[in-house]
Structure 1
């Protein structure tokens, strides 16, 4: 395929953004300028370039609205529980579940990973985040460590394998021309390699920075022993966790996934929020509802506002979203660049494996771990068949690259649910993840080459 000037502009901005993140520099101005220049060059009209700035941010906001809303609702519920003291009652039976930051890191991660396997990571974050975060903090784990554990186990390990819901392997297998079970079998050792290496390295670096005083655990206030609790607080402490457990069971039984699962947990949370508010405040509940919702939306918007213009630029790399920004017929720049890379590198098992995982990572930069699965599956079949390598292994490797990148561990606009629940910076979280995840993907690539 032929790359245009706008393709090279997009690539140049992507490289500069990656360098900027690595150097801990703000990249919003760079993405805004890149969006304007790309819109101008692609259309050939200055005015359309200016309009592209707004269209990109609007499209980005529309794509992210679901998660902005669910986080706002969950935070509103959490603020109400904190106000009436129900959060402290809720934590009493499990406040000593974790002893020390090590147990908190691995325990939080495993719980998030298990729940994510059944309901997918984003709704899982909303379900367990408000309950597990105070417990982990009390055990001495910094909030960034909590976010890393939830992120790596949920959006990384659980989603990259997707062994229960099987959305990822279905997409990959269809494009690669192999069965779903072929992809699942091939991905098991790759998920283990990536997950083990990335989580161990992340934990080692986390403990190193804790010893050096760079990261410290936030204080969790103790509850006065003499405090009395209202009926609403006691009711919420029992009903809220039971409702969330019932929601998890419902998503499994009903086969809900992705947006449907998120919608269910959001609706349940909103009903609980209103019920508890009326139990506590009666006819004056409207004021508590308004204040808690304002707090929730303020928190959510504060987290998402810096990400919207950045995501707007990267969404132009997706063939599904780019036409909404640049107009009908607009190319998906990331996908085109991935195809061009694959077409200009000599074929053998080692370079083909490297190409596929790199294309997966690049395709994932648009913030959707699943958008690149068809591409890597197609590439695995096209490049793997002529040289006689195991196509399923090659496709599974591409799945690792795409999901770990865009599924939400390497790009700030992919970790927003974790950042929203924990309150940490998306850029700080992805920066902490970067080295660990890249090492994990290198390990998976080496395992895949040995398996082919």
Structure 2
């Protein structure tokens, strides 16, 4: 494998990005300058180097556009449901069924995880936490326990698999050069391993500290609860969950996979959104629809705007996307580096898997579980292909590390939504998550080694 100066520049920038993420420094300037330098050196043209900057962001945005749209639609639907009170009506049946700390822990977590699958964890926090936290605390679960279970199930299990919206596996698979379906299938045992270990250990540690008197239930502040609901709220509380359940069953039975499944879910969400808006606002529905759609897309763009230039650089590491940026015949720089490394250093699945999950965890330290997905995807392809490993499994493992870390379970700046709504200390929450989540990722790594 002949390495050019462009390859060495790419490697140097990757190292700088990893160091920057570990130090919690912004890495967008590094990625932008690295993209320009590689474009200039590879094409031997200053002008084409500048064009490479635009092409890289365009290729990145093109790959992310489907994710941005589906999240915008889902959040718009959620904002509308919150405004009319349908979220409270939807959760009202759980008030009288949560009576013990155990039921409160697992019930609250499962509800948060289920909602997070459809609207992502941060919007789901605003919907679930104000209503379920007082219910859980009245059942005897300490505040930190309510925050932890919502955090592990929502920002951990639901987001790391992302089986409905498929934003994470779409981004990971694009960089790894494999299909979305293969990453989804590979992530199922890894999500189960990490999720079961982290939640069970978290619950056992919580009950131990409750028995020792280290954790007690503080004063319960009930959320403001509506007592009257309109026709639109009643309609939404029944039809929305029923429609999404039918949607999931349909995607399984047809079957619909990848982009087809995402398009189906997005279409259902948009029609539901429109029907609820018309039922609630009548002739004023057009203005309301525009307002809620703006809210939804503003949220989505805010999440992905920082990811676009970072992903643009790392996409040059993949031979599938690099030609879109640098032109026909452009190499996948990171894949070439991986082949060169494999030719000089004997690699096997175990060390490669450990490297990828560690890089994923480090990449997540910036508090964004998605900024590191292209890195771990390209790394999985670069190191997995030369040794004949299952690239989809390695990419899914890197996704676990990045999302569980930066998605919001291991760093205080990643759990601020849960901490802010519940009122718990973000540092205490991440300290309590640390051992369970690290143990879960360790078990997932062993599973990935056996499967890869």
TM over 0.5: yes
Partners of 2:288 and 2:95 in 1: CA distance: 27
Measured after TM superposition, the shift of residue 446 of structure 1 is: 5.8
Partners of 1:13 and 1:265 in 2: CA distance: 38
Asked whether the 8 Å contact 1:353–1:449 carries over to 2, the reply is: yes
Q: Which residue of 1 aligns with 2:304?
A: 304
Q: Which residue of 2 aligns with 1:150?
A: 154
Partners of 2:13 and 2:206 in 1: CA distance: 30
Q: Please report the TM-score for the alignment, with normalisation by the length of structure 1.
A: 0.69
Q: Which residue of 2 aligns with 1:253?
A: 253
Partners of 2:332 and 2:393 in 1: CA distance: 21
Q: Structure 1, residues 276-313: CA drift from partner, whole Å, max 9, x if none?
A: 11111112211111111111111111111111111111
State how many pairs are aligned.
396
Q: Which residue of 1 aligns with 2:92?
A: 92
Partners of 1:264 and 1:372 in 2: CA distance: 31
Q: Which residue of 1 aligns with 2:238?
A: 238
Q: Which has the larger displacement, 261-270 or 365-374?
A: 365-374
1:223 aligns with 2:225: yes
Partners of 2:293 and 2:112 in 1: CA distance: 26
Unaligned segments of structure 1, at least 5 residues: 163-167, 175-179, 213-218, 382-394
Measured after TM superposition, the shift of residue 149 of structure 1 is: 3.1
Q: Which residue of 2 aligns with 1:215?
A: none
Asked whether the 8 Å contact 2:109–2:154 carries over to 1, the reply is: yes
1:385-396 equivalences under 5 Å are: 395=389
Q: Which residue of 2 aligns with 1:391?
A: none
Unaligned segments of structure 2, at least 5 residues: 137-142, 167-171, 208-213, 215-220, 364-371, 419-425
Q: Structure 1, residues 221-267: CA drift from partner, whole Å, max 9, x if none?
A: 42144xx2211111111111111111111111111122111111111
Q: Which residue of 2 aligns with 1:403?
A: 396
Q: Please report the TM-score for the alignment, with normalisation by the length of structure 2.
A: 0.69
Partners of 1:379 and 1:435 in 2: CA distance: 33
Q: Which residue of 2 aligns with 1:354?
A: 351
Measured after TM superposition, the shift of residue 402 of structure 1 is: 1.6
Q: RMSD of aligned C-alpha atoms?
A: 5.0
Q: Which residue of 1 aligns with 2:67?
A: 67
Measured after TM superposition, the shift of residue 145 of structure 1 is: 6.9
Measured after TM superposition, the shift of residue 37 of structure 1 is: 0.9
Partners of 2:337 and 2:291 in 1: CA distance: 47
Partners of 2:249 and 2:232 in 1: CA distance: 25
Measured after TM superposition, the shift of residue 146 of structure 1 is: 4.0
Partners of 2:440 and 2:259 in 1: CA distance: 28
Measured after TM superposition, the shift of residue 408 of structure 1 is: 7.7
Asked whether the 8 Å contact 2:193–2:444 carries over to 1, the reply is: yes
Partners of 2:345 and 2:159 in 1: CA distance: 31
1:367 alignment partner, SS class: helix
